[in-house]
Structure formats: structure tokens, C-alpha cells
Amino acid sequence: MIPLTTQEQWEMSAIKPIVMVVLSSMLVVACGDRAKPAGGVGAATEAPDPFAFAVEVTLSGVARQQLDASAETVVVAASYFGGAREGVAASELNDVGLIDLGRVEVEHAGEGSVLVDGGAVRRYRLGLVEGEPQVNVNVYSGRRTSPDNILACDMFQDGVRVAVAAPVRIACRLLSEADADDATL
């Protein structure tokens, strides 16, 4: 029998497939995405979306109890729009003479901070708008347990710049609470 060289022993070895898998895995990991630095020199900086903002939803005690007990949700709806520039075709306007820029609904479990990410804004329509784009924010129940909205909530409407500058605060209570308050006036 002819003695095997080290190379031949390696090729016949059962260890070879294991070593190849480990080396391949190391190569994949080395070539994959790397974590971005947390800050400082070399940190990747992404500009925040100029249309993204936070909405801070608060519920009355009674509303919180009812939503918790029924697993009902809240929906934050943001509609972006603006006044039309002079000369914009009537076909570009909505039914109240404004330029629609997009609408987004974010469903959330109860109260808390909700991020409206701005992704729904149709940026290609911004050239049709005169002045600053506006946003209207409404909050209502998710209609998981009832076909009707059960919440009476504040609303917000102002320039997008105002919404982005600080969280939009929306307070909600049950419609039945609002009706009782109205009856005592």
C-alpha cells in the first residue's frame, strides 16, 4: 500500500465538509450587512422624513377601561393636503378645492404614542401646493367590537411643520361620556 500524502489524507477526511461549511459561513458573515455606528465619526446619518410625526393619544379612565375590556383599538388617521397654486387644473382638486397629498391610518392598541411615518405623502404632488402642506389628524375607535365609532376625540389641523415640531396631543373619551357632558351644559 502506498502511503497517502497529507493532501490526500485531507481530501478523504470527514472533517473537510465541516471545515468548508464553517469557512463558507464566516465568509457570508464577513460580507453581510454591518451594524451602523451609534453615533460620532463614521455614523450613518439618515435625514428624518419631513412628513413624519408622533401623535400622543390619551384616553379618559372610562374609555381606557372599556377599550381594555373589549380589546378595541384606536385608529389615528392623518390626511395631508394643501391649497392649490394658481393655475392648477380643476381636475387636480378634491371636492373642497384642495390638493390631496395622501392619507394614512395607523391602528394602535389603546392609548400611547403613535408614529405617523409620512410614507403616504405623494411627494410628486407638492408642486401643486401653494405654501406649506397641512395635516389633519383624527382619532377614532377601530370598530373591532362595534360597527360604530365609540370615541369622541380632539382633532388637530395645522401645518405639517407644527405636527413635526412636537407630538400632536389628542385626548379621547367615550361618546357616551361626551353626550353626558353635553346634556349638563
Q: Residue 114 CB: number of other CB atoms within 10 A?
A: 22
pLDDT digit string, tens, across residues 106-154: 999 999 999 999 999 999 999 999 999 999 999 999 999 989 999 999 9
pTM of the model as a whole: 0.72
pLDDT digit string, tens, across residues 50-84: 999 999 999 999 999 999 999 999 999 999 999 99
Q: Where are the domains of the chain?
A: 53-183
For the purposes of burial, counting CB atoms within 10 Å of the CB of 37, is it exposed (0-12), middle (13-18) or buried (19 or more)?
A: exposed
Query: Does residue 159 have a pLDDT over 70?
Result: yes
Residue 48: per-residue pLDDT: 83
Could you tell me what percentage of the chain is helix, strand and coil, using 3-state DSSP and rounding each to the nearest 5? Answer: 30, 35, 35
Residue of 104, 102, 118, 149 lying closest to 47 (CA atoms): 118
Determine phi and psi for 105, rounding to 5 degrees: -120, 135
Query: Does residue 93 have a pLDDT over 80?
Result: yes
Residue of 57, 52, 48, 53 lying closest to 166 (CA atoms): 53
Better pLDDT: 114 or 3: 114
Q: Edge to edge, what strands does the sheet with 53-59 contain? A: 112-116, 53-59, 168-174, 151-153
What pLDDT band is residue 34 in, cutting at 50, 70 and 90?
very low
Q: How far apart are CA 107 and CA 140, in angstroms?
A: 10
Residue 45: per-residue pLDDT: 59
